[in-house]
Amino acid sequence: MRIVIIIAFALWSSIAAAQEVVSIALLGLDPDPRYDEAIAYARIENGRQGDPQIAARMAMEDLLLLTDARGVNIGFSAVRVADEAALPTATRQLADSGNRYLILDLPAKEADAVAVALGPNGPLLINTTAPEDWLRRRCHARMLHTAASDRMIADALVQHFVKMRWERVLVLHGKTDRDIARAASFAEAAARFRLRIVATREFDLSTNPALREQNNVALLTGDIREYDAVFIADSFGEFSRYLPYRTALPRPVVGATDLVPLEWHWSLERYGAPQVNSRFETAVGDSRRMTWQDWSVWIAMRALLTAEAKSLERDPNAIEAFLRSDALRLDGSKGAQLSFRPWDNQLRQPILLATANAIIGMAPLEGFLHQTNTLDSLGVDAPEFACD
Partner 1 sequence: MLRAILVALIAATPAMARDTGRIFVSNERSHDVWVFSPDFEHIATIETSRRPRDMKLNADRTLLYVACGDDDVIEVIDVETLEIVDSIPTGPSPEVFEFSPDESLIYVSNEEDSMLEIIEVDSRIVIHDVATGAEPEGVITSEDGSTVYVTSEVADMVHVIDTEAGAVIDNIIVGTRPRRFILTPDTNELWVSAELSSEICIIDRARLEIKEVLQFLPPGFRPEDVTPVGMALTADGARGYISLGRANHVAVIDGFTHELIDYVLVGRRAWSIALTRDETLAVVVNGLSDDITLIDTASLRPIRSIPVGQVPHTVVIDD
Q: Does 300 bind partner 1 (CB under 8 A)?
A: no
Q: Does 331 bind partner 1 (CB under 8 A)?
A: yes
Stretch of 42-50, 118-126, 178-186, 325-333 contacting partner 1, by CB under 8 A: 325-333
Stretch of 58-66, 77-85, 171-179, 183-191 contacting partner 1, by CB under 8 A: 58-66
Smallest gap from residue 247 Cβ to partner 1 (A): 35
Q: Does 316 bind partner 1 (CB under 8 A)?
A: no
339/162 Cα distance (integer angstroms): 26
Candidates 54, 56, 60, 63; binder of partner 1 (CB under 8 A) is 63
Cα within 13 Å of Cα(271), Cβ side: 17
Residues 127-142: b if buried by 16+ CB within 10 A, e if exposed: bbbbbbbebbebebeb
Say how many residues make up the chain: 388
* H or E segment and range at residue 352: strand 351-354
Residues 6+ positions from 37 with CB-CB distance below 8 Å: 46
CA 122 to chain centre: 23
Between 246 and 370, CB nearer to partner 1: 370
Candidates 279, 288, 289, 314; binder of partner 1 (CB under 8 A) is 279
Q: Does 374 bind partner 1 (CB under 8 A)?
A: yes
> Position 258: which residue type?
D
Between 63 and 260, CB nearer to partner 1: 63
Stretch of 104-112, 193-201, 212-220, 327-335 contacting partner 1, by CB under 8 A: 327-335
CB 143 within 8 A of CB 111: yes
Candidates 310, 344, 347, 362; binder of partner 1 (CB under 8 A) is 310
CB 361 within 8 A of CB 353: yes
Smallest gap from residue 274 Cβ to partner 1 (A): 9
271/273 Cα distance (integer angstroms): 5
Residue 208 exposed, middle or buried by CB count within 10 Å (0-12, 13-18, 19+): exposed
Stretch of 84-92, 156-164, 174-182, 369-377 contacting partner 1, by CB under 8 A: 369-377
Q: Does 5 bind partner 1 (CB under 8 A)?
A: yes
Q: Does 275 bind partner 1 (CB under 8 A)?
A: yes
The dihedral formed by the CA atoms of 85, 91, 92 and 93, expressed in degrees to the nearest 10: 110
312/338 Cα distance (integer angstroms): 19
Cα within 13 Å of Cα(318), Cβ side: 7
Candidates 41, 177, 278, 386; binder of partner 1 (CB under 8 A) is 278
Contacts to partner 1 from residues 16-55, by CB under 8 A: none
Q: Which of 359, 297, 292, 304 is nearest to 330 (CA)?
A: 304
> Position 274: which residue type?
P
Smallest gap from residue 307 Cβ to partner 1 (A): 12
Q: Does 373 bind partner 1 (CB under 8 A)?
A: yes
Stretch of 66-74, 104-112, 160-168, 172-180 contacting partner 1, by CB under 8 A: 66-74
Q: Which of 310, 303, 362, 300 is nearest to 330 (CA)?
A: 303
Smallest gap from residue 273 Cβ to partner 1 (A): 11
Candidates 104, 143, 190, 330; binder of partner 1 (CB under 8 A) is 330
Between 64 and 219, CB nearer to partner 1: 64
384/29 Cα distance (integer angstroms): 33
Q: Does 8 bind partner 1 (CB under 8 A)?
A: yes
Number of residues that bind partner 1 (CB under 8 A): 30
Q: Does 69 bind partner 1 (CB under 8 A)?
A: yes
Q: Across the chain, how many H-helices and E-strands are there?
A: 13, 15
Stretch of 85-93, 224-232, 287-295, 304-312 contacting partner 1, by CB under 8 A: 304-312
Q: Does 309 bind partner 1 (CB under 8 A)?
A: yes
- The binding site for partner 1 (CB under 8 A) comprises 1-2, 4-5, 8, 12, 61-66, 69-70, 272, 275, 278-279, 306, 309-310, 329-331, 335-337, 373-375
